Amino acid sequence: MNAVSTSQSPTQAEIDAQNYIQKLKQEQARFMASINSLKQGFLILDIKNNILIKNDAIDKMLNLKDLEGNVLLKGDMEVIEEQVKESFSLLKLIDECLAKKDRIVAADIPLKQKHLSIHVSPIISPDETSPLGVVILIEDITEAKVLERSRDEFFSIASHELRTPLTAIRGNTSMILDYFADKLTDPQLSAMIQDIHAASVRLIGIVNDFLNMSRLEQRKMEFKKDVVDIIEIIQEVIKELTHIADEKKLYLRFIPPAVRLSVLVDKDRFKEVVINLVGNGIKFTDTGGITLTVAQADSKVKVLVSDTGLGIHLSNQPLLFHKFQQAGSSLFTRDSSKGTGLGLYISKLITEGMGGTIELVKSEEGKGTTFAISLPLVST
Partner 1 sequence: MSRMYQKIFTFEGYEVEVASDGQEGLDKAKSGKPTLILLDIMMPKLNGIQVLEQLKADPNTKAIPIIMLTNLAGQQDAEAALAKGAVKYIIKSEYEPKQVADMVKEVLAGYTRNEVPQAASQQ
Could you tell me if 373 and 356 are in contact, meaning their C-beta atoms sit under 8 angstroms apart? yes
Under rule CB under 8 A, residue 178 binds partner 1: yes
Query: Binding to partner 1 (CB under 8 A): which residues in 227-256?
Result: 236, 240
* Straight-line distance from the first to the last Cα atom of the chain, in angstroms, rounded to the nearest whole number: 105
* Residue 195 lies near partner 1 (rule: CB under 8 A): no
Residue 259 exposed, middle or buried by CB count within 10 Å (0-12, 13-18, 19+): exposed
Alpha helices in the chain (DSSP H): 12-36, 56-61, 76-84, 90-100, 142-179, 187-217, 230-247, 267-283, 343-353
Q: Which of 164, 299, 333, 380 binds partner 1 (CB under 8 A)?
A: 164
User: Is the distance from CB of 64 to CB of 77 less than 8 angstroms?
Assistant: no
Is residue 199 close enough to count as binding partner 1 by CB under 8 A? Answer: no
Residues 269-298 that bind partner 1 (CB under 8 A): 271-272, 275
Decide: is 182 part of the binding site for partner 1 (CB under 8 A): no
Smallest distance from partner 1 to CB 240, Å: 6
Q: Does 208 bind partner 1 (CB under 8 A)?
A: yes
Q: Is 183 in the site for partner 1 (CB under 8 A)?
A: no
Between 17 and 168, whose beta carbon lies closer to partner 1? 168
**302 makes contact with partner 1 (CB under 8 A):** no
Cα gap 267→54, rounded to integer Å: 54
Instruction: Report the DSSP beta bridge partners of residue 329.
Output: none
Q: Name the minimum Å distance from CB 307 to partner 1.
A: 21
Beta bridge partners of 374: 302, 357
Q: Are 103 and 94 in contact (CB under 8 A)?
A: no
Nearer to partner 1, 267 or 300 (CB): 267
Of the residues 19, 87, 167, 242, which one makes contact with partner 1 according to CB under 8 A: 167
- Bridge partners, residue 105, by sequence: 119
Q: Does 217 bind partner 1 (CB under 8 A)?
A: no
Contacts with partner 1 by CB under 8 A lie at 156, 159-160, 163-164, 166-168, 170-172, 174-175, 178-179, 204, 207-208, 211, 222, 224, 236, 240, 267-268, 271-272, 275
